[in-house]
Amino acid sequence: MPKLIVAMAGMIAYGEYDVVLASRILGKGALKGGMPLYKYVSNRFLTAFQNILLRQKLSEYHTGFRAFSGEVLANLPLEENTDDFVFDNEMLAQVSYFDYRIGEISCPTKYFAEASSISFRRSVKYGFGVLATSMQYRLQKMRLGKFRIFSRVGRRLFLDYYEEVVR
């Protein structure tokens, strides 16, 4: 919803959060708004799993409506992420890993035939990618693994762009 852009940007501009997610779950309208039951159940399961492993308390990680501060975009090692749907989820794991503050705002849900570009098969692949990313996060935090998506190596390209163009 374009109406939420000002609220989300304000939460970042006033320094309350570094990242803001528009949650379809907070308002309890996801199913009423037409979210398919299998997507709702999968969303709730994956979110619970991620909250445990990432030690967050988010209502959902799987919304596509997000706002990021310039600092976050400049400092995350985005080049290390996949080129598929799980990219967005890897970003949130990185945001959490590097201790950026995440806020949420309630977002109305309206599903229709063209609302989602992800098929059931790709949804399953996405779900497994989310589980793998969450496990990598926990293993890295416990120092039992070392994964490039949680290193600062891949951030230099974006930092150079941010310093040159944005500032």
- Residue 107 burial (CB < 10 Å; 0-12/13-18/19+)? buried
Collect all residues with Cβ–Cβ distance below 8 Å to 30 and sequence separation of at least 6. Answer: 24, 40, 43, 109
Q: What is the pTM of this model?
A: 0.87
Per-residue pLDDT of 4-59, as tens digits, reads 999 999 999 999 999 999 999 998 788 988 888 888 999 999 999 999 999 999 99
- pLDDT of amino acid 148: 93
Q: Residue 154: in which H helix or E strand, if any? A: none
Per the prediction, the chain carries an average pLDDT of 89
Q: Put the strands of the sheet holding 19-23 in their side by side order.
A: 66-68, 19-23, 102-106
CA distance linking residue 130 with residue 94, whole number of Å: 13
pLDDT in tens, 101-117: 999 999 988 877 666 66
- pLDDT score, position 27: 80
> For residue 155, what are its two tokens?
């951030």
Contacts of 33 (CB under 8 A, 6+ apart): 24, 108, 109, 110, 111
Residue 110: predicted pLDDT = 82
pLDDT at 159 > cutoff 60: no
Q: Please tell me the predicted confidence (pLDDT) of residue 109.
A: 84
The yes-or-no verdict on residue 99 having pLDDT over 80 is yes
